[in-house]
Amino acid sequence: MIDTRTTGGPQLKIDDRADTSGDELQRICGHIGDLSVEGTRADFDLATLLTQVPSPLTAINLDAARTVYHYQSALVLIELEATVLAVRAAALAYRQAEKGISDTFGGLLDYFGYVTGRVIAISLPALIPIGIAVGAPIYLGLKLLDVTGLDDVVAKHFGIDLAQTKAAAKEAFVALVFENSDVSGAIIEHVLPGIVVGFMGLPPTVLATDGDHALWPHDSSSMTAWVLGGANMFGLLLPSDVEVWKAKGITAPDDEPPRDIEDLYRREADRHRGVDSGQVRIEEITDADGTSRYIVYIPATSDWSPEPGENTTDLTTNVQAMAGNDTVMAEMVRQAIADANIGADSEVMLVGYSQGGIVAGSLAADPAFLNDVNVTALFTVGAPISDFPVDEGIDVLSIEHEQDLVPDLDGNENPAADHWSTITVDYDPEQLRQAPNLKGKTDAELDELFSSAGAAHSSAAYSASIGLMLAGGHAGLNRFTAKNSGFFSGDLKETRDYQGKRRRT
**For the residues of 363-375, what is the DSSP string, one character each?**
HHT-HHHHHHSEE
Residue 470 sits in the same domain as residue 418: yes
Specify if 188 maps to a domain. Answer: yes
12 pLDDT band, cuts 50/70/90, is very low
Q: How many CB atoms lie within 10 A of CB 25?
A: 18
81 pLDDT band, cuts 50/70/90, is low
Q: Say what percent of the chain tops pLDDT 90.
A: 46
Domain range for 137: 107-208
Q: What span, in angstroms and rounded, lies between the C-alpha atoms of 336 and 42?
A: 72
DSSP strand pairing (420-425 vs 4-8): antiparallel
492 pLDDT band, cuts 50/70/90, is very high
| Sequence-distant (≥ 6) Cβ neighbours of residue 348 within 8 angstroms | 293, 294, 295, 296, 337, 342, 373, 374, 375, 376, 377
Q: For the segment 257-304, what is each residue's pLDDT rounded down to a tens digit? A: 999 999 999 999 999 988 889 999 999 999 999 999 999 999 999 999
Residue 71 sits in the same domain as residue 140: no
Residue 97 sits in the same domain as residue 117: no
Residue 396 sits in the same domain as residue 492: yes
- pLDDT higher than threshold 70 for residue 43: no
Coil, helix or strand at residue 82 = helix
Cα angle value 192/414/180 (rounded, 5°) = 50
- pLDDT higher than threshold 60 for residue 95: no
Residue 78 sits in the same domain as residue 172: no
The answer to which of 120-124, 162-166, 323-327, 469-473 has the lowest mean pLDDT is 162-166
Q: Residue 120: what pLDDT?
A: 85
Coil, helix or strand at residue 376 = strand
Residue 125 sits in the same domain as residue 267: no
Specify if 7 maps to a domain. Answer: no
Minimal CA–CA distance to 386: which of 404, 365, 371? 365
Specify if 487 maps to a domain. Answer: yes
Minimal CA–CA distance to 263: which of 244, 283, 280? 283
Specify if 222 maps to a domain. Answer: no
Residue 268 sits in the same domain as residue 132: no
Specify if 55 maps to a domain. Answer: yes
Q: For the segment 166-192, what is each residue's pLDDT rounded down to a tens digit? A: 667 776 777 677 767 777 777 878 888
Report how many domains make up the chain.
3
Residue 19 sits in the same domain as residue 67: yes
